[in-house]
């Protein structure tokens, strides 16, 4: 199943993002650090990023979540 072939409507895109994101995120526009890169917490951090994308998508904002590199 290719995700791009199945998401053709806005409501479906929001529904899919909601299912895989964290419960909520602060509404933010522009670059936003969601945390420090960590293999142990990568799943949690990616879901936080998805949550920011979902909020931005629903509110017609541009949001660019990223992870800080500890190196």
Over residues 17-52, the pLDDT tens digits come to: 788 777 666 778 899 998 899 888 888 888 888 888
Q: Which domain holds residue 10?
A: 3-68
CB contact at 8 A, 65 and 48:
yes
| Residue 3 pLDDT exceeds 60 | no
This model's pTM is above 0.75:
no
Domain count, the chain: 1
Residue written as token pair 């409501």: 11
User: Considering only CA atoms, which of 45, 49, 54 is closest in space to residue 12?
Assistant: 54
Please tell me the predicted confidence (pLDDT) of residue 23.
65
| Residue 1 pLDDT exceeds 50 | no
């Amino acid at each position: 199943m290719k995700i791009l072939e199945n998401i053709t409507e806005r409501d479906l895109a929001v529904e899919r993002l909601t299912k895989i994101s964290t419960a909520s995120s602060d509404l933010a526009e522009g670059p936003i650090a969601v945390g420090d890169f960590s293999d142990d917490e990568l799943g949690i951090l990616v879901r936080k990023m998805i949550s920011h994308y979902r909020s931005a998508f629903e509110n017609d904002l541009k949001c660019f979540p990223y992870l800080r590199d500890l190196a």
